[in-house]
Each structure stands twice: as C-alpha cells, then as structure tokens.
Amino acid sequence: MGMTMTEKILARNAGLAAVEPGQLIKCKVDLVLGNDITSPPAIKEFNKIGRPIFDREKIVLVPDHFTPNKDIKSAEMAKTVREFAKQHEIVNYFEVGRMGIEHVLLPEVGLVAPGDVIIGADSHTCTYGAVGAFATGVGSTDMGAAMATGDTWFKVPSAIKVELTGVLPKWVTGKDVILTLIGMIGVDGARYQSLEFTGEGLASLTMTDRLTIANMAIEAGAKNGIFPVDAVTRAYIKGRVSKSFEEVEADADAVYAQVVTIDLNQLVPVVALPHLPENVRKVAEVPETTIDQVIIGSCTNGRIEDLEQAAQIMAGRSVHPVVRAIIIPGSQGVYLEAMQRGFIETFIKAGAVVSTPTCGPCLGGHMGILAAGERAVATTNRNFRGRMGHVDSEVYLSGPYVAAASAVLGRIATPEEVLA
Amino acid sequence: MILEGKVWRYGDNVDTDVIIPARHLNTSESKELAAHCMEDIDPAFAGNVQPGDIIVADRNFGCGSSREHAPVAIKASGITVVVADSFARIFYRNAINIGLPLLEIGEAVKHIKAGDKIRIDLSSGTVENVATGGVFKAQPLPGFIQDIAKAGGLVNYVKEAGG
C-alpha cells in the first residue's frame, strides 16, 4: 500500500519501513522550537527530567510573542529563555534585534528543510509544511521532553488530499485559498488529519502563498499541512538551507481518507467573520462594516510579499481617519527589505504605524489591543472571541490586499473599490 | 478510579483563548492561571467551580493555540476530568502529558446537562449520568497513552522509561 508524504516522512524518522493511519510511533525530531510563552514551562519540565539537551543545534528558541518585553512578568519569561539558551549553548537563539516571528524567521534563515520532522511549542509550527517538512504544534511538556530525548510520539494521521486546479486570479492570495478551504470543511474538518496539498494549481502559488496556507492548517484542526517539493520550493531554499536533507514524494497509490478539490480560477477575496475562521464570506457580499483597526503582519501574513501587496494598495493614499493601521514586518530581514523597497515610507506617509517584529496583537498580547465594541480587520489567523483584546471586540480575518483596502476606506472593502 | 462531580457544560469549539486568554499568559503559575480559567466564555466559572467538578463539552474542545496553560488552568481549578464529543489534538496531547484525564464519548454528551451529577470510571471509560441513569462508553485510550496517564504525565513517563 502506498504512503502519503506525511506517512513517508514519519516512517523514515521512526525507522520503520511503513506506517499507517492510527499507528502510534516514536519518532526522531530534526528540530524542536519554542517561544517566550511556551519555553519557560518547557524548561521547567526539561529540568525535572535531569538529562542534557539532545542536540544544541536542533533546538530553536525565539522570544517573539510578548517581545520586546511588554511588562515585568514577560521580561522574566524572556530572561528564563535567554539564560537557558546561554547555559546550554543553544546555537539558534534569536534575541530582539535579530529575531522575527518564529514562523517567518525559520524558513527565511533556512532552518527548515524538506523531509524534516519538526515539533514546536506553538500551534502554527505547521507552517513549515510549505517546504515539504512534517511540522506540527505541541505543548510545553512535549517540547521539554523532546529537548532531552530528541524524539516524540505521534499517532500517524489519516490524510485529506486538497487538489488545487487552475490559477490564482488577480487580488486573490494564499490567504483566500486557506480561508476558503476552512469555510468548506470547518474548524474541525481536518481534526487529527494531515492536509496534503497537490495538483497543477500549485504552480501559481508562491512560497509566501504556501507558507500562509500551511500556517492555517491548524485552523481546520489539522495535525499538519504539507506541500510537495517542486521548482518553487527548490528556488526558495537555495542559498538558505545549508544542512543536508532528503526530499520526500507521496506514492502514486497513497491512500487518502477524503479528497477536496478547489478550482483556484473560481476564488475571490474572502474574509472570515467573528468568531471562527470557518465563517468565511466573499468580501463583496459582506454588508457595510465599519472598522477601528487594521493589523497587517503575523506568522500568517508578515512576509515581504504580504507587505508589498499592502503597499500597492496604500501607495499615494491615506488610511481612513477613524482607522488605526498597524503594520508589523515578520522579521528583521523583512523589515529591512521593506525599507529598501520603499514600503515603510509608503505606510508612514499613508498614516500607518510600523512596528518591530512581534506576534503582539494577533493573540491580544500588546501593540494593538481592542477595546469593547471595537472591530479589526487583521491578516492574522484566529478571530476567536476576545482573541485581540476585549471579549466584546471583533476580528475579521483577511489577506493583505483586503486589509489594506479596508484601512483606506474605513470599512471592509475589496481592493477594486480602492483602485476604482 | 471513580470520579463523581457536578457538570459545567459548554458547546462546540471552545478554544484555548477563552479557556485562558493570552493577557494572562505572562505567567505559568497554575493557581494564577486557574483564577482566570474560562473567563471569556463563563465569568462565573473560576469563582464557583468546586474541587471534583467535571467539564462536559461538545465538539472540538480546546481548539486553537498550543498553550499548555489551558489544561493546566483547568486542572488547577479543581476539575478532575473533561468529557467531550471530541477534542482538538494539541489540547488532547497536552492534557495527557500533564495528567488531566479526558474522555471522548461522541454525541452521547447531548444527554448531559449543566449541573447534572455524573460518575466516571476512568479504567473502564464509562460515564454515568447519576440524575438520569444513562450510561455512556468512551473510546478506550491506546495502551501507550494509558501508560503516560498512569505515570502521571509525560515527564514521569520519560524518567521511568529512561529512554
């Protein structure tokens, strides 16, 4: 019986010839990741085990959620992570000034490679499926244990094949693809399963589109989302990934529990209404909805291409007087390139604020918290009740074009409405 | 092991942001987390939950963020077990790893209401609604997961296994 990409990667790292859905396996990990919120409890659990770390080059620590430290307690957590990194001579610890939002940073600096098994104490670790890795979010105890043992346990997931056909139309991005899919299958539509993206439609998806799509696999409940390795992937990792790796390809006779087909030609810009990512509507069909804030950034849409899209809409225009527009480049590298290409100037002239990289407002941490009754359009990944602030605030999820257009018009809007 | 307690009843897709909002994640102290548990979905919970009480929910309980602070907050609030139609996978892992028992009983949760007293036999995976007499059977935990649960969580399991 043939295996999916996920099954083949898991089988290889478990030292098994084959695995099948439902099987419990112990699996070697190629990378263990944590952030400033999840690492302190992981370090505590790690210390209870009382063993050395398994590999100082395979643990990655990125303080990105409440950094630059938003309060004293957060500063203490960041300090715990910093001291642990120093004590164990962790190679890949990223201090403020060199850091980025973890899932923007790791692919950018070449720490994730095709065929890797990656666990991270952050649910959006699934982002790395974009480069053909098996990557999934876990909790702090899993992270702590894996830092000591170099392995973890998995239940092999069954798979949903997402067959993409056609070509992405203008103004439609990876964010619209994944929101449309979540709208189709629901927030638990892929619970415990892998989402395996495939089909001729992949050719029109940039690496940024793929990173955004894989990033939100968790929002459909999936264990991971994964893309085949093709020319787009190889061009992206060239010059970034220096370690050796092995590309993995799904068998032609791999077994999928379900097949979902999406014709990219038919997609339009969409938005997910409060309070679930599955409440997806075409932007053009949303009744007039005024807004107070726009966030463009996050591990979902904080890459240079995302900022380029926002700048394209904002160039020569002004953010609506009632809107606070907050732009957050996902890494120092993205920030620098955005500056060199003039995007930062465009944003500032438009009346937007540009922040240092941080997860900040996405999870209601800092840098843009909503008051009661306020409404935001955000390129982030979750619009749960109270996610960005007060329990009576609202978050609408979209891609950068729609977010930027909404910032300009002060209401949820399509890019065409601005450019018309 | 038999657990008996009063039910706190919740619906579909209870996410980890409402179980413990991120504004409280600048600590991982379990008692501090428990003081804010369920704050954004049920402000009455933290002040009224009694040791031994049980949470019963519908589909996809614990979806969203991987924050282990969510099951930690629930456990520290005195809840002994969570019963649901289904659980989100990271929450499921985290709960097992920190020693908070979970039972998945599918649509049978529809027969349990807020305030009901229910009795749970963890070894056989049965859930009995004391008020109505209804008995529901959970999916048994795989052997390896039972071993982690018996050890009291993953860290003890790894220490005992030594490998």
Contacts of residue A62, Cβ cutoff 8 Å, sequence gap at least 6:
A33, A34, A35, A36, A93, A94, A99, A100, A101, A102, A105, A106
From first CA to last CA, the distance across chain B in angstroms is 28
Q: Considering only the beta carbons, identify the residue of B59, B97, B142 that sits closest to A141.
A: B97
- Taking the C-alpha atoms of residue B154 and residue B157, their distance in angstroms, rounded to an integer, is 5
Q: pLDDT value at position A67?
A: 98
What is the value of ipTM here, to two decimals? Answer: 0.96
Report which of B74, B59, B58, B57 is spatially closest to residue B19, judged by C-alpha positions. Answer: B74
Q: Considering only the beta carbons, identify the residue of A41, A145, A384 that sits closest to B17.
A: A384
pLDDT digit string (tens) for A280-337?
Answer: 999 999 999 999 999 999 999 999 999 999 999 999 999 999 999 999 999 999 999 9
3-state secondary structure chain A: CECCHHHHHHHHHHCCCCCCCCCEEEEECCEEEEECCCHHHHHHHHHHHCCCCCCCCCEEEECCCCCCCCCHHHHHHHHHHHHHHHHCCCCEECCCCCCECHHHHHHHCCCCCCCCEEEECCHHHHHHHHHCCEEEECCHHHHHHHHHHCEEEEECCCEEEEEEECCCCCCCCHHHHHHHHHHHHCCCCCCCCEEEEECHHHHHCCHHHHHHHHHHHHHHCCCEEECCCCHHHHHHHCCCCCCCCCCCCCCCCECCCEEEEEEHHHCCCEEECCCCCCCEEEHHHCCCCECCEEEECHHHHCCHHHHHHHHHHHCCCCCCCCCEEEECCCEHHHHHHHHHCCHHHHHHHHCCEECCCCCHHHHCCCCCCECCCCEEEECCCCCCCCCCECCCCEEEECCHHHHHHHHHHCECCCHHHHHC
- Asked if residues B82 and B112 have their Cβ atoms less than 8 Å apart, the reply is no
Size of interface A-B (CB pairs under 8 A): 134
pTM of the entire predicted model = 0.98
- Taking the C-alpha atoms of residue B90 and residue A121, their distance in angstroms, rounded to an integer, is 10
- Taking the C-alpha atoms of residue B55 and residue B112, their distance in angstroms, rounded to an integer, is 10
Contacts of B141 in chain A (CB under 8 A): none
Q: How far is A14 from chain B (nearest CA, A)?
A: 15
Tokens of A349: 């002239």
- Asked if residues A337 and A304 have their Cβ atoms less than 8 Å apart, the reply is yes
Contacts of residue A287, Cβ cutoff 8 Å, sequence gap at least 6:
none
Q: Which residues make beta-bridge pairs with A124? A: none
Q: Considering only the beta carbons, identify the residue of B15, B25, B97 that sits closest to A384.
A: B15
Which domains can be identified in chain A, with CATH numbers? Answer: 5-263 (3.30.499.10), 269-419 (3.30.499.10)
B163:A50 CB<8 A: no
- Taking the C-alpha atoms of residue A282 and residue A270, their distance in angstroms, rounded to an integer, is 4
Strand-strand pairing, A194-198 and A159-165 = parallel
- Taking the C-alpha atoms of residue B61 and residue A108, their distance in angstroms, rounded to an integer, is 34
- Taking the C-alpha atoms of residue A402 and residue A285, their distance in angstroms, rounded to an integer, is 13
Report which of A343, A349, A354, A412 is spatially closest to residue A378, judged by C-alpha positions. Answer: A412
SS3 B131: coil
Q: Which A-chain residues 207-236 have CB contacts (< 8 A) with chain B? A: 218, 221, 223
Q: How far is B160 from chain A (nearest CA, A)?
A: 10
Tokens of A288: 């007039």
- Taking the C-alpha atoms of residue A233 and residue A230, their distance in angstroms, rounded to an integer, is 5
Query: At what angle are helices B154-161 and B143-151 packed, to 10 degrees?
Result: 100
Regions of chain A short of the pLDDT cut 70: none
Question: Considering only alpha carbons, which residue of chain B is nearest residue A194?
Answer: B89
Q: pLDDT value at position B65?
A: 97
What 8-state DSSP symbol labels residue B7? E
Could you check whether the bond before residue B111 is cis, i.e. omega within 30 degrees of 0?
A: no
Q: How far is B56 from chain A (nearest CA, A)?
A: 18
Regions of chain B short of the pLDDT cut 50: 163
B66:A137 CB<8 A: yes
Q: pLDDT value at position B162?
A: 60
Choose from A154, A219, A384 for mutation: most chain B CBs within 10 A.
A384
Tokens of A183: 């709208």
Question: Considering only alpha carbons, which residue of chain B is nearest residue A42?
Answer: B68
